[in-house]
Amino acid sequence: MNQKRVAIIGLGLMGGSLGLAIKKASNDYYIIGFDHNKTHQKEALEYGLVDECSDDNERITQCDIIFLAIPVDAIIQTVNAFGSVAPHTTIIDLGSTKHKISTSIKASLRTHFVAAHPMAGTEKCGPSAAFDTLYNDKVLVLCDLDKSGEHQVQVAREIFTLINMKIVEMDSHHHDRRAAYISHMPHALSYALANTVLNQEDPKSILTLAGGGFRDMSRIAKSSPTMWEDIFRQNKENVLSSIQCFNKELHKCEALIQEEDWDGLNSWMTKANALHQIL
């Protein structure tokens, strides 16, 4: 059987889980992994995330599909470092920001490139964090498809459908604004919550009382600072705007408590309850 060759650059949670999901869904793909961290390459083979690992750049760029599961700044650098790719090759990034990436790919490769953001992940990292259902039934956003080749768009649709993702299309501007509110700003808040507790006189004593609510809200503060620094940099204006909107609501809560306006506070919280009627 003539298998399609898939290269996955970055063998952590996202890349490793992608390899597992594709291998679980079909035998039609042969997965070649690459990671600058040689320990990650070794572990990816041990865990069966990929079929083999390769450091041969030419072999990777001749694959049918190349996935980039690496930090957002590295995505741009890596793609633009490719001298060329095979005429049929599809390059797909999995970055959490889209506009900067979409507009920074060099012209000679832009039709080969599909900007994608799977709305999936955990706070864990590395090959050992990978699992085969990470992408199952999750939303996959495809952006700026008018800049991608027809063949490349079809390939992207097919492989994300194969691993049971729900595909949504939008332009990269709208994506980045919306992602700021539902992903980027919540990460900033989680880091702020963690630091607020750590900055107290006796944080260990405080944390002895930590229950499910605190653990849920602070969980994503375990996410990679290096990765999220890049995301905040690329989506700076939208992240700042979302934080300002959050601050406005937090100050409203503060004022209602300060003024002992308990009816107003109750109404404010009741309004927030409606969110889960939408989700």
- pLDDT tens digits, 97-151: 999 999 999 999 999 999 999 999 888 899 999 999 999 999 999 999 999 999 9
Q: Is residue 146 classed as helix, strand or coil in its secondary structure?
A: helix
Burial of residue 122 (CB within 10 Å: 0-12, 13-18, 19+) is middle
Residue 186: per-residue pLDDT: 96
For residue 116, give the DSSP letter: E
| Domains defined for the chain, CATH in brackets | 4-170 (3.40.50.720), 175-278 (1.10.3660.10)
Mean pLDDT by 10 residues, the chain (279 residues): 92 97 96 96 96 93 96 96 93 97 97 97 92 97 98 98 98 97 96 94 84 87 93 97 98 98 97 87
Amino acid identity for residue 165 in this structure: M
Residue 20: per-residue pLDDT: 98
Answer positive or negative: Cα dihedral of 95, 101, 102, 107. Answer: negative
163, 165, 166, 199 from 138: Cα distances, Å: 10, 5, 6, 36
pTM, two decimal places:
0.91
Return d(Cα 232, Cα 253) in angstroms, integer: 26
Taking residue 253's Cβ as centre, other Cβ atoms within 10 Å add up to: 14
Q: Which runs of consecutive H residues, i.e. helices, occur in 199-235?
A: 203-207, 212-218, 225-234
Residue 1: per-residue pLDDT: 60
Residue 84: per-residue pLDDT: 87
Residue 31: per-residue pLDDT: 97
Return d(Cα 214, Cα 193) in angstroms, integer: 9
Residue 276: per-residue pLDDT: 84
Return d(Cα 31, Cα 5) in angstroms, integer: 6
Answer positive or negative: Cα dihedral of 167, 171, 172, 176. Answer: negative
Answer yes or no: are the C-beta atoms of 218 and 269 closer than 8 Å.
Answer: no
Whose CA is closest to 195, among 240, 187, 238?
A: 187
Residue 182: per-residue pLDDT: 94
Taking residue 121's Cβ as centre, other Cβ atoms within 10 Å add up to: 19
Q: Is residue 53 classed as helix, strand or coil in its secondary structure?
A: strand
Return d(Cα 119, Cα 136) in angstroms, integer: 11
Residue 83: per-residue pLDDT: 87
Taking residue 137's Cβ as centre, other Cβ atoms within 10 Å add up to: 10
φ, ψ at 134 (rounded to 5°): -55, -40
